Structure 1
Amino acid sequence: MFASTLARRALCIARSASAPPRLPLQARHLHATVPVFKKKQTSADLDSLFDDFEIVDESLPPAPKASEKAGTSTPIAGTSGRTRTKLSPEQRAQEFTKVLEFVKPRVGRKPQEKHLEVRNSAWLGMLQLAASEADLRQVVSLMPGWVPSGRKFKDAISEAFVRRCEELKCGILALEVYSDFAKYNFPLTLPAARRLLHSVHRTSIQNVMAASALFAVYKLPAAAQDYVSCAFVVEACLRHNSEDSVAIAQALLPHLRQLEKIDED
């Protein structure tokens, strides 16, 4: 069953690879080395609950900074002109719960609370404050109520979500969300799709194939037509090292080399 599924996927990917790329060449500024994903500044486009400070994520490798007292909330000068606030794990959990409890009764077709509308940036705040997969799953549980309340998820929220899932090593959660648009109404941009592939490309080959299939679902250029995405698929197929996955990789390698030459030009 799985072998036949992979075989069909190989045929689809090979056909996609033979089609002319739909991305304009001037939009391709990618390198043959490990891709670097840079999130565009979008805070100016969003109403922010966090304009006065930027939360420092204690779960990630810290940037060089001056010494601070442990367990305190210490303002740190940021290059963007905003104050960066280091939160202890306890403070982080408290802030996360506070925003979560604010949003919870204010989403859905018939929200319990109508006073103080939820802003788009509340989602960004929850994602930034989330410190575990369990936290992210609480955020995800609120997503189905956003569109029924008359709102729409911005692309910046989607890109922040998949990035946070990757940082917290729960790319499968992101795959679950993007695989059920009818439930979550969550958009998938090309940058988010690339990061989604990156977050699952070291897991099972089934997850990689599922993520690559979402490109067509969200009307994005096929994964085989995008250099970064194609590279992730090829690497995952070679790592899986089954007869069918190697066949997919072999079908994609010539096209990947062609995309690399286009990128270098």
Structure 2
Amino acid sequence: MTTVSLDTRKKDLLKALVSEYVRTAAPVGSVTLVQKHGFDLSSATIRHELGALEELGLIEQPHTSAGRIPTERGFRTYVDLVISREASAAKTKAKIRLPQADSDPEAAVKSVAKHVAEQAQEAVLVAFAPRHIYYTGVSHLFSQPEFQEYGRVVRFSELIDRLDDIVGDIFPRVKDETLVWIGQENPFGNLCGTVIVRCPVASKKFGVLGILGPMRMDYERCYGLLNLTRQMLAGAFG
């Protein structure tokens, strides 16, 4: 997906709109952007800029009387604008409980995964090997507004049934660079967002750690949380 070139004002508006939508799961209007995000612009000017972002395919208006929401392309552009491994890990305020030095590595990593799921309020996947998979936090995922629709729950449940095949396919593709998959590019389904990275799961052994959420997931927070966890596991397992 090609990254869109934006001027500073449009970048700031897109970032504000996405962050507000991530927080509320509701369409975002110009008045909200002025009142909550401190734009020194008139509502008319903001509406004009939002119209330009809509023409670029970055946001859409689900109903005539509603505000705007990000599109898949809008989320991708937002991620490319705001995320870097170093900055996101440094900004993350979550505290991850590290495994004890003498604990069983697999049990320790599973415990860490549960804690990450609690912090992210999303589902977390650990692949110790292509056919050796652990997941937790699915209840967090199903509590999201997007999954109040029965059909989405069914589709995600079908995905879990195919998890071995999906992970077997992506396992060799996940390297040291943290990946963000959104919508159509996401092996876990086009309704989802995923942040995923290669990480230590024992001494001299690497696996895959990922956070799965709706497309509306908080990518910046999850990216930082995942990289903080990766750094801590690297320290724990040497």
Does the alignment reach a TM-score above 0.5?
Answer: no
Q: Please give the TM-score of this superposition, normalised by the length of structure 2.
A: 0.25
| Bigger strand share | 2
Highest Rg: 1 or 2? 1
| Bigger helix share | 1
Q: Please give the TM-score of this superposition, normalised by the length of structure 1.
A: 0.23
Structure having greater relative contact order (Cα 8 Å, sep ≥ 6): 1
